[in-house]
Amino acid sequence: MPGALHHRIITRQALASCRIADGARLSSDYCIWPDDFHSRYEEIKPYLFIKDGIEFHYLPHTPVEEFYRYWRFLPDKGVTRQAGTRPNDNQRMAEAGFAFYQERIVAALRSGEKDEAYKYLGCLLHLLEDQCFGIHALEGPEGTDIFVLDRLSGMPVCKKLCALPLSEKLYGLTVTPQVFTGDAKEFVPLLYRRYAASAEFSRRELFRMAMEYINGTENEDVIRACEKNMFLCAVQLAADTTAALFALAGGTHEVMSERSLGDFEPFFYPVGGGGSFPLRKCGFDNGVISFGVNHEAKLLYDLPESLYRRFRGKIYGSGIGRVQIKIINAGKAVESFTLTGDESITLSIDAPNGVFGIVSYAVAGSGELHLADAVLSI
């Protein structure tokens, strides 16, 4: 897990990447506040978001099994359906925290209270950095506990991964920040997507490193490469977040007129089904979102309210028989149709917002569905 040194270096290099020269206190002290919370309680309490008794430090997991395990048979209709849409606890907690920090950081920057903004920013960056470097990458979205590799290997892998060094060769590395939005309403869901993607990337690097220990090879080149990749992932996410918050405070970034649906993370998505998707979750490749046909499959997003003017896209199947499709907007079905064979249907939905997405019903295992050119227009 990142220790104080790791957080300080990652934060310092993120600020250097953003060309912020007055953040010495942020990179030396505020970025480690979540770790010091219990010993400096009164000082830090106003700045650490807490929801339902959970500190914005170690967030709840949302394991993939939440999306595929629970089904019920409806004997009166003779069909099998998912047992509701289970809450995505990680996303709910993360996005509530992101909103808390966005509001306070932007307000403090606009009023010239930079040190106050940096206290909040330090707590936010700490969580993001934890997710990208070291053992905490196993947790969070689609995550599990940090001892899972110990149980699978019968070796003390966790102890190894909790004590990762930080090569001095990494101390001077910077990245090019990406201001991912100029619209305040987009910041939270777009940051969550980047947080989840960064966690997924770092989790793979961590596993690659862990296998070197488990197999007894301990190839230094592989271990150092994984360390560097996780470090740069953490610096990039911290720099992007910082740059976006400064842009929102200053109104210095142009608002995009269109946004790909793939820029958002679904809070519920299909796992399994037909085609190439048995025992696989839905995929996103070259701008196309694909998933297997199943008894019921849900691809659902939580979009900002009153922001987008129209959604457009194209839905088509491959290897399918007869699939019933419902388009959900603002939590309600606004369109319903049947898709068969190789036909495709162009979608155009006004004012997409709130719970938005696709629900399909069919005989399990009969092909795949694809959503292409899925774009939200402002």
Q: Are 240 and 293 part of one and the same domain?
A: no
Q: Are 272 and 208 part of one and the same domain?
A: no
For the segment 310-340, what is each residue's pLDDT rounded down to a tens digit?
A: 999 999 999 998 999 999 999 999 999 999 9
Classify residue 104: in a domain, yes or no.
yes
SS3 for 358? strand
Q: Are 241 and 283 part of one and the same domain?
A: no
SS3 for 84? coil
Helices then strands, each counted (H, E), the chain: 10, 14
Q: Are 171 and 269 part of one and the same domain?
A: no
Phi, psi for 82 (deg, rounded to 5): -70, 150
Q: Which of 250, 274, 295 is the last residue of a domain?
A: 250
Token pair belonging to 52: 């339902």
The CATH number for 363's domain is 2.60.120.1060
Q: Which residues contact 336 (CB under 8 A, 6 or more apart)?
A: 324, 325, 326, 327
Rounded Cα gap, residues 273 and 296, in angstroms:
9
Q: Are 114 and 216 part of one and the same domain?
A: yes
Q: Are 39 and 170 part of one and the same domain?
A: yes
For the segment 187-212, what is each residue's pLDDT rounded down to a tens digit?
A: 999 999 999 999 999 999 999 999 99
Classify residue 81: in a domain, yes or no.
no
Inter-residue contact 56 to 34 (CB < 8 Å): yes
Token pair belonging to 207: 């596993």
Number of domain units in the chain: 2
Q: Are 239 and 312 part of one and the same domain?
A: no
The CATH number for 123's domain is 1.10.575
252: Cα within 13 Å, side-chain hemisphere: 10
SS3 for 64? helix
**pLDDT value for 63:** 84
Classify residue 80: in a domain, yes or no.
no
The pLDDT of 291-303, averaged and rounded, is 95
Q: For residues 308-344, b (16+ Cβ closer than 10 Å) or e, as one string? A: beebbbebbbeebeebebbbbbeeeeeeeeebeeeee
CA 145 to chain centre: 17
For the segment 275-289, what is each residue's pLDDT rounded down to a tens digit?
A: 888 888 899 998 999
**pLDDT value for 62:** 87
In the numeric block, the tokens 């996780």 are attached to 230
218: Cα within 13 Å, side-chain hemisphere: 5
Taking the CB of residue 185, how many other CB atoms lie within 10 A of it? 17
Classify residue 21: in a domain, yes or no.
yes
Rounded Cα gap, residues 197 and 339, in angstroms:
31
Structural domain harbouring 176 = 4-75+86-250
In the numeric block, the tokens 């793979």 are attached to 204
**Phi/psi class of residue 300: alpha, beta or left (left: φ > 0; alpha: ψ in -120 to 50)?**
beta
Mean pLDDT (the chain, rounded): 94
Q: Are 93 and 213 part of one and the same domain?
A: yes
- Largest distance between two CA atoms of the chain: 67
Residue 236 has pLDDT above 80, yes or no: yes
Q: Are 101 and 193 part of one and the same domain?
A: yes
User: Integer distance in angstroms from the first to the last C-alpha of the chain?
Assistant: 40
Q: Are 277 and 358 part of one and the same domain?
A: yes
Token pair belonging to 134: 């070291």
Q: Are 109 and 224 part of one and the same domain?
A: yes
Token pair belonging to 253: 């970034």
Taking the CB of residue 59, how many other CB atoms lie within 10 A of it? 25
Q: Which of 250, 284, 304 is the last residue of a domain?
A: 250
Q: Which of 250, 268, 300 is the last residue of a domain?
A: 250
pLDDT-derived band at 364 (thresholds 50, 70, 90) equals: low
Q: Are 23 and 122 part of one and the same domain?
A: yes
Residue 29 has pLDDT above 90, yes or no: yes
Inter-residue contact 123 to 36 (CB < 8 Å): no
Q: Which amino acid is at 28?
A: S
Classify residue 143: in a domain, yes or no.
yes
Token pair belonging to 33: 């506040």
What is the length of the chain? Answer: 378
Residue 361 has pLDDT above 70, yes or no: yes
List, in sequence order, the alpha helices (H) in the chain: 4-17, 24-28, 33-36, 41-44, 89-110, 114-132, 148-153, 157-161, 184-214, 220-250
Q: Which of 89, 180, 100 is nearest to 143 (CA)?
A: 89
For the segment 65-117, what is each residue's pLDDT rounded down to a tens digit?
A: 888 889 999 999 889 999 888 889 999 999 999 999 999 999 999 999 999 99
